[in-house]
Structure 1
Amino acid sequence: MATPGGPEMRVVLLRHGETHGYFDDVGLTELGESQAREAGRALGKDLAATMGPGERVRLPHAPTARGTATAVTLREALVATLDEELGAGRGLVVGDLEPDAHFDSLQFLYDGEARESSGVAARRLALDPGEPTPDWALEFDRFDSDHGEDSKTGGPIDRWLISTTRYFEPPQIAVYRLWAGIQALAAQPEHGRVALVSSHSGPMRAFVAAAIGQDPGEPVNLEQVDVRLDGDSATVGFREHLMPVDLTTVIPPWIDPAYLRGRRKGPAGGS
């Protein structure tokens, strides 16, 4: 992880826009695109009022289709709004999109590799129902059963936060990888001291729960977690919560540092 002690940094985590579904890695609906545009306009007005001319804004994003599509639309609306507020060419410098696996969706162990879980869902659906169901698919079924009586206990991420599994990335690991990504951004202030990150609800929810000590519930599409870093500490803001947090300087021995650096795969069957 990055060494703390640099200049103040702001990282805004945003859940991607409404997607077409979670049974493969797919993009945004029309509503999802609208949500991303609205967020880009609101953030553009915010940054125009709080940042100085020439300051840089970074746009990391999860490498999923829905994370990428959110970042593309968010950036377009952000640039247009900054031009309206400050004048074209006279305002902030908005960087290019930066795919960043730190901020990826919930991961799943498939074929010996950590894979983005919605891509694995497509592989689950492709299994022959006449053949024995492998253990990983049985676990996916238990995770993703959100119907009938099961729905009364909450959605899949509700259960993920409190369940013991063999194949899903544990919530604690997701928390550490988001912090690793945030601290890596803070280690490069010359590239921008504000980062707008298009990410995913599961890791974001675990991240906030670890900071405030309770599960805040699912972030809605384009809802924000506002992280402010200053030296070796940070604050995590979400809804009515604002919690001071000491930055992580030691990775627990049961976590592979290479995993936190992004050594993972995309959807099952691809890289």
Structure 2
Amino acid sequence: MLPPVRSTGAASPFRTHAGEIEVVLVRHGETRTYDRDVGLTARGKHHAYARGTALARALAGRDRIILRHAPTERARETAEALRSGLTDASGPPIAGDPKPDPAFGNFRIWCGDTAREPSGAYALYQKARNTGTVAGWITDFARYLERQRLGSDPVGYWLRQPLPSFEPPIAVVHRFGRAIAELADADDPTPVTVVATHSGCLRAVVATASGKDRGEPENGETVHVFATPGRDVATVHYRDRTDQWILPRTTPPWLRPAVFRTAVDGLT
């Protein structure tokens, strides 16, 4: 069952400052499998549609919204179902079609010579195992998949455990933060952007804002982020908490190896 979207009916209950933009991060709907990049189950499409109708009520009165999605099939189908729900429930006008946005993509795995998100990496992993290939990313991915197979918490493992071949949570937070800052600072910022994305990204953003991992979001669950043009402080609403998030507008040197190496050389 989908968690409720908190709404007072006429407008989003979270909106508090004039000039803010709102970015609604939505976890994709239930998918058929994580072994490859495929779309949603019938239940997943239904839940994403229902989330769209709920957002139509929560976002009533807004001038327009845009729809973005992570570049995976499950996120794309979620965005399409959200659009149908928003439209059928007479939500705010939607500007254009849902578009893929790599800035809001899932965390990636460096599979030797190519970067793939987990469902895209699975086929490469199987091929590597079948041919007896030995590589660090295969070990990392095997450990991640073992948690998934046991029904524990693979995303939580990624959040806590250094996995050298995986894009780290802090890199995802910087990527999302910069993308949200750019939406806020646009010459003509769109009041609301609804983004279909992935649970690990949501957990990393929420953990950064609240100071703790708050667990796996439900399929279709939302995180609302409010940002103001030119301001570094955003507001993050998730479940029963409201927290401030300092948007990471610049990348620290340790996420830019060439810059970091230069800085270290300058100290020696």
Structure-1-length-normalised TM-score: 0.81
Deviation digits for residues 87-114 of structure 1 (CA, Å, limit 9, x no counterpart): xxxx634432121001111200023333
- Distance in 1 of aligned mates of 2:94 and 2:157: 41
- State how far apart, in whole Å, the 1-side matches of 2:202 and 2:129 are: 34
Give the drift of 1:191. 5.3
> 2:83 maps to what in 1?
75
Instruction: Answer yes or no: is 1:92 the counterpart of 2:93.
Output: yes
1:142-178: per-residue Cα shift (whole Å, max 9, x none)? 1110278x65xx3111111111111011111111111
Q: CA deviation at 1:132?
A: 4.4
Q: Which moved more, 1:243-252 or 1:19-28?
A: 243-252
Aligned length: 238
Runs of 4+ in structure 1 deviating by more than 6 angstroms, as ranges, are none
User: Is the Cα–Cα contact under 8 Å of residues 136 and 165 in structure 2 kept in the other structure?
Assistant: no
* 1:21-62 deviation per Cα after TM superposition (whole angstroms, max 9, x unaligned): 1111111000110011000111112222x42xxx12010110
Does the CA-based 8 Å contact 1:103-1:178 persist in structure 2? yes
C-alpha distance in 1, partners of 2:87/2:148?
A: 41
Residue matched to 1:135? 136
Give the AA of the match of 1:78: L
> Secondary structure, in 3 states, of the residue corresponding to 1:131?
coil
User: Counterpart in 2 of 1:15?
Assistant: 27
Verify: 1:47 aligned to 2:59, yes or no.
yes
The answer as to 2:239 corresponding to 1:252 is no
Match of 1:82, SS?
coil
Displacement of 1:134 after TM fit? Answer: 3.0
Describe the SS at the equivalent of 1:24.
Answer: coil
Higher relative contact order, chain-length normalized (CA < 8 Å, sep 6+) = 1
TM value normalised by structure 2: 0.82
Residue of structure 1 equivalent to 2:243: 243
Aligned equivalents of 1:189 and 1:217: distance in 2? 36
Provide structure 1 residue ranges, at least 5 long, that are not aligned to the other structure: 1-5, 84-90, 258-271
Q: Which residue of 2 aligns with 1:168?
A: 166
> 2:148 and 2:165 mapped to 1: Cα distance?
22
For 1:125 and 1:143, how far apart are their aligned partners in 2? 14
The answer to whether the aligner puts 1:220 opposite 2:203 as a matched pair is: no
Matches within 5 A, 1:27-66: 27-48=39-60, 50-51=61-62, 55-66=63-74
| Residue 68 to residue 256, structure 1, CA distance change in 2 (3 Å) | farther
The CA distance in 1 between the partners of 2:209 and 2:159, in whole Å, is 14
Consecutive unaligned residues of structure 2, counting only runs of 5 or more, are: 1-17, 258-268
Q: Does the Cα contact within 8 Å between 1:56 and 1:92 map onto a contact in 2?
A: yes
CA gap of 1:164–1:94, structure 2 versus 1, over 3 A, is same
1:224 to partner: Cα distance: 0.4
**1 CA distance for matches of 2:141 and 2:76?**
25
Q: Percent identity?
A: 37
CA distance in 2, matches of 1:255, 1:61: 24
Query: What is the CA–CA distance in structure 2 between the aligned matches of 1:249 and 1:159, rounded to whole Å?
Result: 27
CA deviations 1:171-223 (Å, max 9, x no partner) are: 11111111122112222262521001001001110110011000000011010
- Letter paired with 2:100: P
Once the two structures are superposed, the pairs formed by residues 165-204 of structure 1 within 5 Å of their partners are 165-188=163-186, 190=188, 192-204=190-202
Query: Structure 1 residue aligned with 2:157, among 146, 156, 159?
Result: 159
